[in-house]
Structure 1
Amino acid sequence: MTPPDDPANTLADRRSPSQVSSMDWLGHRSLGPIESGAVLLHAPSHAFQSPGGGEVQLARTARHLDALGVLVRPMNPWADRLEKARILHLFGMSREGLELAKVAQSRGVPVVLSPICWFEPSALAALAGSRLKAASALAAWGVRRAVPRVPGWRKELFRRSDAVLPNSEAEGEQLARLFGLDRRKLRVVPNGVEPTVLGANPEPFRALIGLDEFVLYAGRIEPRKNVLGLVKACEKTRLPLVVVGDPVPGSESYAEQCRGVPLASVTWVPRMDADDPLLASAFAAARVFALPSWFETPGLAALEAALAGCAIVITPFGCTREYFGNWAFYARPDRIQEISKALTEAWEAGRGRTELAEVVHRRYLWATVARRTAEVYDEIAPTG
């Protein structure tokens, strides 16, 4: 099969799928006045300018809560009055969210927080940008770990939250250890996937890129995701790599570094919407999915790829082992040789990782996530 001259340019002109995406649904639901008793969902105001896993978590949770009959909508800060809300649900931790939590608390509105975070000391050092910044970041982390009583805006946000919904037991335990978070507030709600990837057709994506077997990365191009390390590892193994994603603002030079690795066989494809059928086709086509990031909680794209039957190469940092167990191939982000070895082993194992796919299908569908979230809502703000 002959590949197109420039797959990236071919995709750049492609139209969005006809069905309403989760992101479009959010925009539609934010219109009009707030209905009394609605759950208001909030993410930092800049979040959807470069959407990633946290934004997908918000959008998919919202859509499936709506399907359950839960009155839910993204918060419009220009028009929505918090006192009309049943609950304020914050996705991600930010000072902006803290200020909203203060207002909600003053007006008797319960606050639910999905922190979506992980504090990894090796990542703090590697991504700091300079030795001085790395030393400062590690010192602050060390103080926080040794003395969780130390005040800070994150600690205050946890204090003002009625329920905290980490994506894993490991994340919840870390937050309790670092911030003295009351464990009675913790309700683990995992990340999820859509079951639609199970029926995806691999041929459209294979036809687009001109490859039948390849290593796939899908996500933001930025240092935390360690795309450069993955490209270098694929160069060593001579495995074909397909990268689906765009650089986040400020990471353009990093993306150029990734593109500049000599001898690497990489096909670059622009970012796709999480609901795009062609992205599902990519998961169905790939032999291996790789995410050797500095940490993950646990990596939504990796979960989708696992459900689609890919062999998974992923970082051990974060809560990945809690999700992927012994069914994935783990590689530390700062060890190119380790990533190369994991890629080779995963390539030899190939597709059809049925045990992991069954675990993901049983535990991590968005419908399950929404039900657990709704149970937390009913616990802290019963209706009727």
Structure 2
Amino acid sequence: MSQARAKVLFITSQGAFQLYGGAETALIMLKHYLEKKGIICRIYSYEDNFHDYDIVYLHNVSQFPIEAFRLVQLAKSAGARVISSPIYWSSFESALEYGVGIKKFAHLIAYLISVFVSKTGIDFGLQSSPRLMKLALEQSDLVIVNSNAESELISRHFMIPKRKIRVVYNGVDPNIELADPKIFMNKYDISDFILYVGRIEPRKNVLRLIKAFNKTALDTHLVIIGRPMQEFYKYYWDLCLKEAAKNPKKIHFLGSFKYSSELLKSAYVSARVFVLPSFYETPGLSAIEAAVAGAKLVITNRGCTREYFSDFAIYVDPLSVESIAKGLIKAYHSPVNEDLKRHILTNFTWEKSGDQFIKIIKSIV
């Protein structure tokens, strides 16, 4: 079948676009690029029938593993090829951050059980999420990951043979660097600040970030753009607010901005330093965007961050407030390194990601 006639159906979790983040951005940008290349793409709705598509692409399977397993079976029975993208990382350290008291203990036990089940497939007939995710990946025609590090993890945790795994790197819109910094500065009267963009939740390590910023005593501001996940982690949001209250004139929670908004792009180009001290990142789309915008980058040393940012970022230990504080101070007083921007634009654009995906489509259709 020719590339121009290929039809791709994207499926993600039902709540994905209610909690819009990097995974959803990646899906939309990939869809737009494929459409520019003549490939027919749709995001799944009740009107779609798997028989009408060449490829069914399950995006962010780790967020809906039970349904994904059934969807793989239905798609393959309809004659479609199935590609699954798990967007998966497993972190014992991150598991320790969730909940308090007995809830923290329960979360840790659940994590240890999930690691066992995902590797062995043994769940004693419970039809658990880790087992069904393993089966969904096993029964897919190909598995797409966004780094070699994730490939290693998927192969090791779910025993997926590497011959089935393909790496498609995340990308960035090069035009972000053309944004107007005055838009953000005129609205908030803040410049040369430290910027964080992402959800406010335990994995993102925002509480330690705030503590680290307070520890630095830098004469600047910490701007936090993102949605507090109060529905799930209200206790964590309350802790962040309590710590930020120690420095109310310097720490600003601005809520979430739309991904395509000129205000968000303006924030990127206005920032002096961008920080993402999460317990892991794969690799963090906001960090890629900030790098292209010209910000100096302070980022976690967990996940696949080094695969994307090489030696051009300052890496910090997410468990250490001291490490994060030192990273902020070092970045703030360092000169801008144009090599970071060149490195990202040379290796990680949505055009390159789309071209990689098209090659994969051609190989199985």
TM-score (ref. length: structure 2): 0.90
Contact 1:149 1:180 in 2 (8 A): no
Q: Secondary structure at the match of 2:260?
A: coil
- 1:46-83 Cα deviation digits (max 9, x unpaired): 1111111111111111111111111111011x111101
Q: Secondary structure at the match of 2:311?
A: helix
Matched, 1:139 2:118: no
How many Å separate the matches in 1 of 2:258 and 2:215? 31
Q: 1:142 to 1:160 in 2, by over 3 A?
A: closer
Counterpart of 2:8 in structure 1 is 39
- 1:103-161 Cα deviation digits (max 9, x unpaired): 0111211101111111112112222554532441453255358x546471111011111
Letter in 2 for 1:74: I
Contact 2:6 2:39 in 1 (8 A): no
Q: Secondary structure at the match of 1:88?
A: strand
Give the alignment partner of residue 242 of structure 2, picking from 260, 280, 288: 260
- 1:282-313 Cα deviation digits (max 9, x unpaired): 11010100100111100000000011111111
Question: In terms of mean alpha carbon deviation, does 126-135 or 211-220 score higher?
Answer: 126-135
Counterpart of 2:128 in structure 1 is none
Letter in 1 for 2:152: E
- 1:204-241 Cα deviation digits (max 9, x unpaired): 11222212211001111111111111111111112410
Contact 1:216 1:289 in 2 (8 A): yes
How many Å separate the matches in 2 of 1:252 and 1:197? 33
Q: In the TM superposition, what is the alpha-carbon distance from 1:177 to its structure 2 partner?
A: 0.8
What is the 5 A alignment of 1:151-162? Answer: 152-162=131-141
Q: Secondary structure at the match of 2:166?
A: coil
Letter in 1 for 2:53: A
How many Å separate the matches in 2 of 1:323 and 1:250? 30
How many Å separate the matches in 2 of 1:364 and 1:120? 25
Q: In the TM superposition, what is the alpha-carbon distance from 1:255 to its structure 2 partner?
A: 2.4
How many Å separate the matches in 2 of 1:254 and 1:136? 20
Contact 1:148 1:177 in 2 (8 A): no
How many Å separate the matches in 2 of 1:42 and 1:153? 17
How many Å separate the matches in 2 of 1:37 and 1:81? 15
What is the 5 A alignment of 1:74-93? Answer: 74-76=43-45, 78-93=46-61
Counterpart of 1:313 in structure 2 is 298
Q: Sequence identity of aligned pairs in percent?
A: 34
Counterpart of 1:366 in structure 2 is 350
Q: In the TM superposition, what is the alpha-carbon distance from 1:368 to its structure 2 partner?
A: 1.0
How many Å separate the matches in 2 of 1:59 and 1:37? 18
How many Å separate the matches in 2 of 1:131 and 1:291? 24
The number of equivalent residue pairs is 344
Contact 1:125 1:138 in 2 (8 A): no
Letter in 2 for 1:168: S
Contact 1:52 1:219 in 2 (8 A): yes
- 1:255-286 Cα deviation digits (max 9, x unpaired): 23212214322122121111111111111010
Matched, 1:211 2:190: yes
Unmatched segments (≥5 aa) in structure 2: 124-130
How many Å separate the matches in 1 of 2:42 and 2:49? 13
Give the alignment partner of residue 353 of structure 1, picking from 315, 337, 353: 337
Contact 2:316 2:327 in 1 (8 A): yes
Letter in 2 for 1:61: L
Q: 1:131 to 1:73 in 2, by over 3 A?
A: closer
Q: 1:123 to 1:71 in 2, by over 3 A?
A: same
Q: 1:206 to 1:56 in 2, by over 3 A?
A: same
How many Å separate the matches in 2 of 1:302 and 1:257? 24
Q: In the TM superposition, what is the alpha-carbon distance from 1:250 to its structure 2 partner?
A: 2.2
- 1:160-186 Cα deviation digits (max 9, x unpaired): 111111000000011001111011111
Give the alignment partner of residue 111 of structure 1, picking from 79, 82, 89: 82
How many Å separate the matches in 2 of 1:108 and 1:79? 18
How many Å separate the matches in 1 of 2:54 and 2:213? 50
Counterpart of 1:251 in structure 2 is 233
How many Å separate the matches in 1 of 2:71 and 2:48? 12
TM-score (ref. length: structure 1): 0.85
Q: Secondary structure at the match of 2:196?
A: strand
Q: In the TM superposition, what is the alpha-carbon distance from 1:252 to its structure 2 partner?
A: 3.8
